[in-house]
Chains A and B, each alone.
Chain A
Amino acid sequence: MRAPGAEAPASRRVPRTTPRTATRRPVRRWLTSYALLAPALVLFGLFVLYPLVQAVRISMTDSTGIGEARFTGLDNYARMVGDPVFWRAAGNTVLLALVSVPTSVATGFGLALLLRERLPARGLFRALFLAPYVLSGVVVAMAGRWIFDQEVGVVDRALTQLGLPAPDWQSSGAAAAVSVFVVLFWARTGLVVVLYLSALQGVDRDVLEAAELDGASRRQRVRYVTWPLLRPTTFFVVVLMVVEVFQTFDVVRVMTGGGPAGATEILVTYAYAQGFQARAEGYGSAIGVVVFSVVLLATVVAWWVQRDSEEVA
């Protein structure tokens, strides 16, 4: 109940705004927004947009990294079409993504479900899983290189002790690919675990309890309640992992150098070899632009599919 006399006179309730102040407010708000955004925009422009535009420009030249470069239009892209090493590297990259992304996502999700429970030393496990991701990629790769060294590595020594055949991790293409995959899996899955763990905090326990009361088994609750509720997180994780795979460089460079015989050459290591070792900077940049375009396209398509499925749901 409103106290008598508390009602303000009608003339005071009307906002004292003139058309001029009304137009000023959005402008001021707009200015404030952009002023707050400015540091991020400047950094984005300087460190992301500008290099990207430069990469596209260099990809249309015969730049060697020294002296003047000549504009060559789309020659580097045409060369790519007929370059078997490029296609092999592209195939290896796609294969790595097809194998490692689902494996990392599935394992990360499973581990997150386990760690959500009240396990003893749960915090320690979380830290251990995230540690390889936090460590420098070169350090992880160096460790991987020693672990999988085919002459003095601990894996081959252990396999030999057990009477099992010791793979040639550095000189057999398939074995080298497996060793790279295992180290990448070890290095990346920790992040997936942490992302899923934080997402699981947001799953409404009432819904899970309702499902349990309805007789859903533990497996059914995960499959029909938790997993669908985590779909936005899964989308984010998949995109992130695909981008990570397409950006992978340090682990492959240190562990195998793209060998043996090109078996572990991926697009980024090939772009590096062309740009910095063969002094074909223009061609290396063109490969970089293609990698960027493919990742961008894949992200847009995935986002489109995700959005549609969200709407259907």
Chain B
Amino acid sequence: MTAPRTAPSAARPGPLRASATRRAVLGAGAGTAATAGLSACSGFSTDASGGTSGDPDELTMITWASEAEVPAFEKLADDFAAAGGPRVRLQVVPYSQVLTAVDTALRTDSPPDLFRVSYTDVAAYRAQGVLADLPGAAELEPSFLPAFWNAVTDERGTFGVPHHTDTSMVLVNDEAVAAAGLTLPGTLERAWTWEEFADVLRRVQPTRADTYPVAVNWQNAGAFRWLDWVDQAGGRLLTEDLTGVVEDDPGMLKALSFTRDLFRQGWTPPNASTRGQAASDLFLNQTVALCFAGDFLLAEIDSGGFGYSATFLPRDVNASADLGGNALVAVEASDKRDAALDFLAFCAQAEQMGDFCAAATVLPTRSDVDAAALDWNVRPDLMELYVEQARAIRTPLVEQVVVPSFSAINTQLRDRLDEAFLGSADDRAALRDITEGVRSVVRA
């Protein structure tokens, strides 16, 4: 047997070739990694990337917005630019992600110039010095309803403009009302008392075995709306100085007893508790004949294909309604803070606010905006009632829901109320659980 001939060097997998192969692999890997990295930098969408714009002639605003609100915000931005201001670029994110988007941008030192925030969240940002003080606030203040102005104001200044409000009313299925022979109160003063409301619930007969008279809108971060009942009964959750929890408050006990009765009497579906299904969904699928709902839901409910009306929230010692709605705020750390504050002042003008509210089906916070004259897009007849209901938003309730730790309080309310509504403990014990839970998170 002969020794094998030496193979031509070109076909031999020698060290030089192996090295070249490794280099090729490494080069390809580096190229791929760089491409992936650059792709990652661009994100899924540049519009949602957050942070202030590098363009000196452009402001960035993070907001969530319904289909109706997007064009309303765009019109505000266009009108501001037409009036000589910089462009405002909207970064529209889902409602559930807006706080995360804002917090992330703040934390990475790329804050937006402006953002939209609910009244119950303003204080958390205010307490951390994130928000810019509104110059000329004293001139604007007389034009605003006090409850909303107080939501963005403390002893150090006014940190944003109350852009709009919304509140709850009782929506009623026309067919169910007719069947029960009900007459709906037409004014706030003639709203049903709790006793009358309970009588109404007894009279509204379910049309099927799986239907119920009513659902209250305390789901989806709306647990604080239970405080409407407390305020209606003349009670308080937080002490006057807002640093503690009121012990054994009779109004709170009465409210808890009445709202637990909704479940105990079978007047509301068991799955309509604070962690349950949204009241408006149950109304839309006609599981309930009445539901508590904010005005911003009218566009959605209008698509339900059945007739419905609205009446005022029931009243006890007080007529009281929840503080809904949002403020617009400017960021103190923004390079374009002054221009951002100019935009806030622009949005706070009566004409701009009226146009926005009419387009977005929300309520104005200025007393000099004639809500009756607004050209509402959806159910103008009901929006007039909502405007009247908003008169029942009371300062004693507002000041309790705009404390810095309200997010934690709201979470405690959701969890403890869920246990109370579906549990069997007596009312006093259930109330103790609620107050202890809230006390654990209340901060001065």
List chain A positions with a Cβ less than 8 A from chain B: 1-3, 5-6, 32, 35-36, 39, 42, 64-68, 85, 149-152, 168-172, 256-262, 273-274, 276-280
| Selected A-B contacts with CB under 8 Å, 18 pairs | A151-B269, A151-B287, A171-B422, A256-B275, A257-B276, A259-B422, A260-B270, A260-B276, A260-B418, A261-B418, A261-B419, A261-B422, A261-B423, A262-B418, A273-B411, A277-B221, A278-B408, A280-B441
B407 at the binding interface (Cβ < 8 Å)? yes
Q: Which of A67, A260, A261, A277 contacts B130 (CB 8 A)?
A: A67
CA distance A39 to B8 in the complex (A): 36
Question: Which secondary structure dominates chain B's binding surface?
Answer: helix
Within 8 A of A (CB), among B118-157: 124-125, 127-130
CA distance A273 to B269 in the complex (A): 24
Looking at B99-107, B160-168, B314-322, the stretch in contact with chain A turns out to be B99-107
Residues of B with C-beta under 8 A to A279: 124, 405, 407-408
Count class of interface residues, chain B: 35 or more
B271 at the binding interface (Cβ < 8 Å)? yes
Pair A276/B100 contact, Cβ less than 8 Å: yes
Residues of A with C-beta under 8 A to B273: 171, 259-261
Contact of A66 with B275 at beta-carbon distance under 8 Å, contacts A260-B418, A277-B411 already known? no
CA distance A256 to B130 in the complex (A): 35
Q: Give the Cβ gap from B85 to chain A, nearest Cβ, in Å.
A: 28
Pair B271/A85 contact, Cβ less than 8 Å: no
Pair A168/B408 contact, Cβ less than 8 Å: no
Pair B26/A67 contact, Cβ less than 8 Å: no
CA distance A276 to B25 in the complex (A): 43
Q: Give the Cβ gap from B359 to chain A, nearest Cβ, in Å.
A: 30
Residues of B with C-beta under 8 A to A66: 103, 106, 124-125, 128, 130
Contact of A171 with B407 at beta-carbon distance under 8 Å, contacts A64-B124, A151-B285 already known? no
Contact of A67 with B1 at beta-carbon distance under 8 Å, contacts A39-B29, A168-B270 already known? no
Pair A259/B33 contact, Cβ less than 8 Å: no
Residues of B with C-beta under 8 A to A149: 277
B282 at the binding interface (Cβ < 8 Å)? yes
Pair B3/A6 contact, Cβ less than 8 Å: yes
Pair B276/A259 contact, Cβ less than 8 Å: yes
Residues of B with C-beta under 8 A to A276: 99-100
Pair B270/A171 contact, Cβ less than 8 Å: yes
CA distance A180 to B408 in the complex (A): 26
CA distance A42 to B100 in the complex (A): 26
Residues of B with C-beta under 8 A to A64: 124, 128
Contact of A257 with B275 at beta-carbon distance under 8 Å, contacts A3-B2, A171-B270 already known? yes
Residues of B with C-beta under 8 A to A1: 1
11 further A-B contacts with Cβ under 8 Å, apart from A36-B26, A260-B418, A261-B273, are A42-B33, A66-B106, A67-B127, A151-B282, A152-B210, A171-B271, A171-B276, A273-B411, A278-B411, A278-B412, A279-B124
Which chain A residue lies CB-closest to B1?
A3
Residues of A with C-beta under 8 A to B411: 273-274, 277-278
Pair B129/A67 contact, Cβ less than 8 Å: yes
Pair B270/A259 contact, Cβ less than 8 Å: no
